[in-house]
Amino acid sequence: MLATGAWEPAATHSGYRSVNEELVSASDIRPEQVVLDVGCGTGSASGIVVERVPRALVWAIDPDREMLEQMPGALAQRVGQIVASAEELGTLFPPAVADRVLLANCIHLIEDLPAAMRGVAKVLRPGGAVGLCTTFYEGGRPAGDEAIYRRFLFKAYAELRRRGVPRVRVARDVHSARVVDRADVRELLGTHGLVIQREWEREVLLSSDLLRDLLGSKHYAAGALPGIDPATAAAALADASQALLSEGVESIARNWWYLLCNMEAGG
């Protein structure tokens, strides 16, 4: 049975899965290729890769052992697993071994982005590619939903106070403490010989049940309400989202940013 605050219910939701399906499709993975799913969580992107390209060689990498432990059994037997952060990537594999590196919904959580991108560039073979996606960037919140986000933020504060959490620093964007700067990411990748192949955005409607699962997960809460015990934060966010939904809000829109870069032949 999954613990309260688990990530897997959100990760397996069709709305969330579609985000990673798009990333995997765009990454154009072929049989026998080596794919590193960095910040894999419970293996959402890895699962899509092995379904679509059964002969791909997939490594699922995440610093949080609990996440890897929630990976569905069949997938866990099919992919290699490593407990490590994106920053450590360059130390895990020899140079130029990977055909694809996927960073699905984790780039906003990486503390040392320059170190992580150095690692990505080191492990990618010439002609290989890195694909990333996140909703935690400066354009993640569609302007039309600002009022809903503000109400949600207010309710999250109230729920924390109700739980006796005295002084709370809630991030401006309660959906994530950190928001990546797209220009920084592009520049970092460029300095390592990674050339932008394709960049796009997509609006995703988070339905009420997906919102409940997403916001009630400890991982989401740890990002959204830093410095607060993740289980308490997850419970407060889940209740805040429930209150919002009971007011008749049936979905919230988010934008997702996708970036696909190729490693130059001489890179």
Ligand X SMILES: C[S@@+](CC[C@H](N)C(=O)[O-])C[C@H]1O[C@@H](n2cnc3c(N)ncnc32)[C@H](O)[C@@H]1O
Binding residues vs ligand X (CB under 6 A): 11, 20, 38-41, 44-45, 62-64, 67, 85-87, 104-106, 109-111, 219
Minimum distance, C-beta of residue 141 to ligand X, in the bound complex (Å): 17
Closest residue to ligand X, judged by C-beta, is: 41
41 vs 128, which CB is nearer to ligand X? 41
Task: Return the structure tokens found at 1.
Answer: 């049975």
68 vs 153, which CB is nearer to ligand X? 68
CB-CB neighbours of 77 under 10 Å: 8
Q: How are beta strands 194-207 and 251-263 bridged, if at all?
A: antiparallel
Minimum distance, C-beta of residue 108 to ligand X, in the bound complex (Å): 8
Give dist(CA 171, CA 178) in Å, integer. 8
Give dist(CA 188, CA 168) in Å, integer. 33
Minimum distance, C-beta of residue 265 to ligand X, in the bound complex (Å): 27
The answer to whether 7 and 30 are in contact (CB under 8 A) is no
Give dist(CA 266, CA 127) in Å, integer. 9
Minimum distance, C-beta of residue 256 to ligand X, in the bound complex (Å): 11
44 vs 262, which CB is nearer to ligand X? 44
47 vs 128, which CB is nearer to ligand X? 47
Residue 236 carries which side chain, given as an amino acid letter?
A
